[in-house]
Amino acid sequence: MSKPTLALVGATGAVGTVMREIISSRADIYGEIRLVASARSAGKVLRVRGEDVVVQALAPEVFDGVDIAIFDVPDEVSADWVPIAAARGAIAIDKSGTFRMNPQVPLVVPEVNPDDARTRPLGIVSTPNCTTLSMMAAMGALHAEYGLRELVVASYQAVSGAGVAGSARLYDEIEALAGDRTIGQTAGDVRKALQNKLPEESPFPAPVAFNVVPWAGSLKEDGWASEELKLRNESRKILGIADLKVSATCVRVPVITTHSLAVHATFAGEVTVADAHRILNAAPTVVVMDDPANGVYPTPADVVGTDPTYVGRVRQAIDFPNTLDLFVCGDNLRKGAALNAAEIAELIVATEF
Amino acid sequence: MSKPTLALVGATGAVGTVMREIISSRADIYGEIRLVASARSAGKVLRVRGEDVVVQALAPEVFDGVDIAIFDVPDEVSADWVPIAAARGAIAIDKSGTFRMNPQVPLVVPEVNPDDARTRPLGIVSTPNCTTLSMMAAMGALHAEYGLRELVVASYQAVSGAGVAGSARLYDEIEALAGDRTIGQTAGDVRKALQNKLPEESPFPAPVAFNVVPWAGSLKEDGWASEELKLRNESRKILGIADLKVSATCVRVPVITTHSLAVHATFAGEVTVADAHRILNAAPTVVVMDDPANGVYPTPADVVGTDPTYVGRVRQAIDFPNTLDLFVCGDNLRKGAALNAAEIAELIVATEF
């Protein structure tokens, strides 16, 4: 069979940029690659696989002849355009939140539930939220052995989770505040210093430099943030545990890229640190960094830009039976977004083309 | 009775500086105030209550005639000198970790267990670790009404928890990295950029600018960090719950001052958000900031330098009965250190002098 044609929709964004790098550095399994973006970006020339490609404006015809279309666009754009791509015969892999909880759309992490990608009545496969993805390879491996029952999660989320504008805002804020060695010591001083130097409009609801902000996403019922509910609902769907108990608190931190999670995970039976290390070491895309005596644990700055899910600080909970506490880092633009979508595409190509 | 004589030991440090401000701004209940520090700082002139005071070198005689001595010095200095102060007749209020878990030393948060301060067979009262203190006023209020059973905590700890050197290091790192709008995007780039510009020695085991570091304190048994065990053991002692279940993961974040905690708290009976708000609003030193529809939740930058414990993001856990998820901020130098010690001293003066 001839090599499949790929369309990357949203090719100019933060994830789109990483997606082009990832597609360019992995096995070359595609024939034509089309880059698609909003009309504003049409005509731009971007590189993929070492070639210059002219960006096309999003239109129904760009999907003609496309086998696989990977979408990284806002929810409302996906809502409109993913079905159009599917109707034109493309298998649509969608990074947005629009279809993730649709029972007719599989939500896939290739290490965890690859078989789910085969059944897609709407022609759509969804890829999870970046926060959920940051831990999923690790939690999937532990679940397969131990049977996961409960998750209590606190996140340390990078600003690039809010796109290129998120990263730009943190760089801007740091530049505006650097050199003031009294900043961050008086209530409101960061906010005041930024008011004079930066536009009030920000991707974040509070200053993010010299700060942490306990909010990600939009307000849902009963005070929950959308990101916290995604982590709950998507974990249940990916792991296939309908009654998994999940509580999450999502917090933005002044890190450019790589989400971290403090995870308190309770399983069906007994767990030990040595055994958890064995399971995680055996998981192909998980790297264990867990030797605190020698200062070894994952941090965003040390793992950003790489593919694996990193796990450290694995401890047996002292007071909670069958429970591990651990710290996980994953690049939110790679495994958390572009890489997982690319892997879903590779999985489909390998098994169906 | 004449006004008591106070000695502040460790008057020149990060907490000592805040302590002098706090003593100067609250009701003036002391007679003489002596400032004490290491021999290196002796002879310095520092201000307290608007007066210049010459710093004295730590020596047994400085405690003669002292009624209350507040110590903010490293553990090993407290181990040597707190008993000397007590032997000379001072009531010693110690901020170090040395005596906190000693059954003959009360560990006191005035809002939670004020009566414990009355019985001190060694003449010593301990004040808790700053991370524990950041949440204790809030958790004490909830415990009094609901009966606390379990705590799962993830911390977002400020660099000034590591003293003046901790704050200096974050300012240094930010200055060294600001302006590079590619930093934090490639594994190890932050570390490499700092190597060329700053001394390798740091109060932190990894870069803290553009990063989070899942480590605080020293390595204890089974992979636990000392800070995580303190949070467990001190919470049990302060709240008087010998079998309280606690799991904590402590993480350093690039914030100068104010610790934040994501808390998952399980109680003996039913809880609601409205009722929790009522309890927390009634607690005199707790401020509820919980209106996410209007962007209201506590962040370190908005509350630093103030006294209360701030609580936001109060949610009823969806899958866990009798459980609240919440986000707490407290200034680690004020309530987390100097303020709590000052309040213990005030409590003792009010009831015993």
The predicted structure's pLDDT at residue B1 = 62
Shared domain for A115 and A148, answered yes or no, is no
How far is Cα A275 from Cα A271, in angstroms, rounded to an integer?
A: 7
Residue A110 domain-assigned (yes or no): yes
pLDDT value for A196: 87
Radius of gyration of chain B (CA): 21
Interface membership of B222 toward A (CB under 8 Å): yes
pLDDT digits (tens, 9 = 90+) for A299-320: 999 999 999 999 999 999 999 9
The residue type of B15 is V
Laid out side by side, the sheet with B259-267 consists of: B245-249, B148-156, B259-267, B323-330, B309-316, B286-288
- Check whether residue A21 and residue A101 sit in a common domain: yes
CATH code for the domain in which residue A247 is found: 3.30.360.10
3-state DSSP helix/strand/coil % of chain A, to nearest 5: 35, 25, 40
In a domain, A196, yes or no: no
Q: In this structure, is residue B165 part of a structural domain?
A: no
Q: Residue type at B72? A: D
Task: Tell me which residue range forms the domain holding A82.
Answer: 6-127+337-350
State the average pLDDT over residues A84-107.
97
Low-confidence ranges of chain B (pLDDT < 50): none
Q: Cα–Cα distance between A199 and B133 in angstroms, integer?
A: 36
Whether the per-residue pLDDT at A2 is higher than 90: the answer is no
Task: List the CATH number of the domain containing A23.
Answer: 3.40.50.720
Task: Tell which B residues from 120 to 179 touch A, by Cβ distance under 8 Å.
Answer: 150, 152, 154, 156, 168, 171, 174-175, 177-179
CB–CB contact A247 B154 (8 Å): no
Q: Which residues pair with B9 in a beta bridge?
A: B36, B71
**A147 and A295 co-located in one domain:** yes
Residue A203 dihedral angles phi and psi, to the nearest 5°:
-70, -10
In a domain, A182, yes or no: no
CB < 8 Å to B300, chain A: 184, 210-212
Q: Give pLDDT, residue B350.
A: 96
Residue A318 touches partner B, C-beta closer than 8 Å: yes
pLDDT band, very low/low/confident/very high, at A1 (cuts 50, 70, 90): low
B118 and B46 in one domain? yes
B249 and B137 within one domain: yes
> CA-CA distance, A289 to A295, in Å (whole number)?
10
Distance spanning both ends of chain B, measured CA to CA: 7
- Does the pTM exceed 0.80? yes
Same domain (yes/no): B151, B284: yes
Establish if A247 belongs to a structural domain: yes
User: What per-residue confidence (pLDDT) applies to B196?
Assistant: 87
The chain A residue lying nearest B226, using CA atoms, is A292
The two beta strands, B33-37 and B56-57, are: parallel
Joined together, the tokens standing for residue B146 give 């609901």
Interface contact A113, partner B, CB < 8 A: no
- A173 within some domain: no
The alpha-helical segments, DSSP class H, found in chain B are 14-25, 75-87, 130-146, 164-177, 189-195, 226-239, 273-282, 300-303, 339-352
Q: Do B144 and B236 have their domain in common? A: yes
Same domain, A317 and A344: no
ipTM surpassing 0.85: yes
* Interchain proximity B215–A297, CB inside 8 Å: yes
Structural domains of chain A, count: 2
Single-letter residue type at B222: D
Q: A308 with A341, same domain? A: no
Q: Which residue has the tokens 């210093």?
A: A193
Q: Is A182 exposed, middle or buried (0-12, 13-18, 19+ CB in 10 A)?
A: exposed
Residue range B108-129, pLDDT digits in tens: 999 999 999 999 999 999 999 9
Question: What percentage of chain A has pLDDT greater than the value 90?
Answer: 97
Q: Same domain, yes or no, for B28 and B144?
A: no
What is the band of A13 on the pLDDT scale with cuts at 50, 70, 90? confident
Model confidence over B118-163: pLDDT tens digits?
Answer: 999 999 999 999 999 999 999 999 999 999 999 999 999 999 999 8
**Is residue B79 located within the same domain as residue B97?**
yes
CA–CA gap between residue A107 and residue A126 (Å, rounded) = 5
Q: Which helix (H) or strand (E) holds A174?
A: helix A164-177
Q: Which of residues 273-312 of A touch B (CB under 8 A)?
A: 273, 290, 292-293, 295, 297-306, 312
Residue A303 lies in a domain: yes
Q: Residue A128 — pLDDT band, cuts 50, 70, 90?
A: very high
Q: Which residues contact B328 (CB under 8 A, 6 or more apart)?
A: B134, B135, B138, B260, B261, B263, B298, B309, B310, B311
Domain-embedded: residue A204 = no
Retrieve residue B321's tokens. Answer: 């009965």
Q: In this structure, are A121 and A140 located in the same domain?
A: no
Which residues make Cβ contacts (< 8 Å) with residue B176, sequence separation at least 6?
B193, B194, B197, B198, B209
Question: Nearest C-alpha of chain B: how many angstroms from A262?
Answer: 6
A 10 A CB-CB count for A114 gives: 17
Which chain B residues are closer than 8 Å to A216 by Cβ? none
Phi, psi of A298, deg, nearest 5: -75, 140
